[in-house]
Amino acid sequence: MSEDHLGKIRVLVVDDHPIVRVGIAAIIDARPDMMTVAQTGDAEEAIRLFEQHLPDITLMDLRLPKMSGVEAIRAIRLRHPKACFVVLTTYEGDEDIYQAIEAGARAYVIKGMPHEALTDALRRVHAGGRFLPPPISRALAQRTPDSDLTSREREVLSLLAQGRTNKEIAMELGITVATVKCHVSVILMRLQATDRTQAVVTALQRGLAHL
Amino acid sequence: MSEDHLGKIRVLVVDDHPIVRVGIAAIIDARPDMMTVAQTGDAEEAIRLFEQHLPDITLMDLRLPKMSGVEAIRAIRLRHPKACFVVLTTYEGDEDIYQAIEAGARAYVIKGMPHEALTDALRRVHAGGRFLPPPISRALAQRTPDSDLTSREREVLSLLAQGRTNKEIAMELGITVATVKCHVSVILMRLQATDRTQAVVTALQRGLAHL
DNA sequence: CCGGCCATCCGACCAGAGTCGGAGTTGGTT
DNA sequence: AACCAACTCCGACTCTGGTCGGATGGCCGG
């Protein structure tokens, strides 16, 4: 190992697919001005590795086993408020993006973009800037004020997205069917859906719920 | 470029994510007994590249823009029945797997497995064998005879999965609501669902429909 | 040629879903 | 204290969704 890492952008890579990690590392380590310091597919180990290496930038996938990438970002930022994050993920709806930005991500790159998008994002963020591809910022702009659901509504929505009936949801939450119907009505309004099936579909599209 | 490619397993890589292609190529080209001959993210170009290089094995993602990976496999096999395919994709339900095996894929590797799974699969397939990870063959074994839908039912299901009502589906297909209800009932039976929302959820899980 | 599968259609029935309007509780904000 | 938002509940009404039984014509394989 050479000792020429002075001045290089030091990157921690977090993605649950080993193959993707190899690809990212290959791209980054091929550039003279950046290098990877560690990689993992596990959110908890990511937190440990961050403490250990204190990288300039953490490259983070959002969909991870156990803990989500957003939670990992929040956890790290609690102790290191100046930590820099670039999200690298397949496009999975505006909600994930919104959450990630909210949690403090400074850039958002979609897998499937050319390599330059990734390295560009890293350089810009390291220089103190941001990087949001046009399709992403467009999606974000379309969020209306009441696309936010209350925590109870998210709870109901996730049960809806499992194909449960109102009665089952009522049992599960220990409330009456009438109340469930109220929540469902509000959800339909917020998602601009006309029935529960449509609500589930758009929730999955936007990343408000997962399979 | 050295001329030591004699005897190596020659691989064509097809995946729509540039980063993943880099990762795969890095892994394969690091082994002494295999090499990549070309790569692309486009199914149609994949067909051209196959004709041009006649690789020993084509490593194929199923989810591609425009044409699906399964269709690409079928197209190539029409003219080259002895062509070898290894599917490399994120797990997206048993239906994709079934279709791919049906179309002639000899191995199925899930992104997120360690590198060795990939190289193992390539070597085994090149030796004339097969490679199906336990979770995959388990999922395949659970297919009951009547989990197959007729083409009309698939048509209805994909409209269901868009959140359309029976009336809308009837309009779309130029049939009556009564007939749509019949199809929906059959679909519910086949998917072992009790209502349309559940049917949509399990269809998405199993890869019978997509967002 | 006939049985079976598929797609089509019908009518009637029941249960679930969704709407509307009204109303009480809590907890946090101003 | 006044207020607002979220959560809770109720009843009654409408309409979609789903089931059941029965029926037709086309198409394919034995």
Provide the pLDDT confidence category of residue A199 given band limits of 50, 70 and 90.
very high
The Cα B15–Cα A21 span in angstroms is: 15
Q: Does position A5 have pLDDT exceeding 70, yes or no?
A: no
Provide the pLDDT confidence category of residue A144 given band limits of 50, 70 and 90.
low
Q: What is the pLDDT, as a whole number, of residue B148?
A: 80
Are B17 and A197 a contacting pair at CB < 8 A?
no
Which residues have a Cβ under 8 Å from the Cβ of B128 and sit 6 or more positions away?
none
Q: Does position B3 have pLDDT exceeding 70, yes or no?
A: no
The Cα A17–Cα A172 span in angstroms is: 35
Angle at B119 between CA B118 and CA B124, to 5 degrees: 100
The CATH number for A3-141, chosen from 3.20.20.70, 3.10.20.30, 3.40.50.2300, 3.40.50.2000, is 3.40.50.2300
The Cα A84–Cα A105 span in angstroms is: 7
The Cα A104–Cα A126 span in angstroms is: 14
Residues of chain A contacting B22 with CB distance shorter than 8 Å: 22-23, 26-27, 115
The Cα B23–Cα A126 span in angstroms is: 24
Distance, CA of B31 to C1' of C5, in Å:
52
Distance, CA of A199 to C1' of D18, in Å:
20
Nearest partner of B94 among B131, B140, B62, judged by Cα: B140
Q: What are the residue boundaries of the structural domains of chain A, listed by start? A: 3-141, 145-206
Are A200 and B205 a contacting pair at CB < 8 A?
no
Q: What is the pLDDT, as a whole number, of residue A142?
A: 72
With beta carbons less than 8 A apart as the criterion, state whether B57 and B9 touch: yes
Average pLDDT, stretch B17-45? 95
With beta carbons less than 8 A apart as the criterion, state whether B108 and B85 touch: no
Bridge-based pairing state of the strands B9-14 and B34-40: parallel
Q: Does position B112 have pLDDT exceeding 60, yes or no?
A: yes
The answer to whether the predicted template modeling score (pTM) of the entire model surpasses 0.75 is yes
Are B17 and A112 a contacting pair at CB < 8 A?
yes
Express each pLDDT in A72-109 by its tens digit: 999 999 999 999 999 999 988 888 888 898 899 999 99
**Nearest CB to B195 within list A22, A165, A198:** A165
Q: Which of A201-205, B26-30, B95-99 has the least mean pLDDT?
A: B95-99
Provide the pLDDT confidence category of residue B146 given band limits of 50, 70 and 90.
low
Q: Mean pLDDT over all residues of chain A?
A: 91
The Cα A168–Cα B10 span in angstroms is: 54
Q: Does position B5 have pLDDT exceeding 70, yes or no?
A: no
The Cα A99–Cα A94 span in angstroms is: 9
Place of tokens 């998917």: B191
Closest nucleotide to the alpha carbon of B151, via C1': C6
Q: What tokens does B63 get?
A: 């989810």
Nearest partner of A160 among A23, B176, A152, judged by Cα: A152
The answer to whether A3-141 and A145-206 have equal CATH topology is: no
With beta carbons less than 8 A apart as the criterion, state whether B42 and B65 touch: yes
Q: Does A117 touch chain B (CB under 8 A)?
A: no
Q: Which residue of B has its CA nearest to A111?
A: B17
Q: Does A202 touch chain B (CB under 8 A)?
A: yes
Are B200 and A201 a contacting pair at CB < 8 A?
yes
In CATH, the architecture of B145-206 is Orthogonal Bundle (1.10)
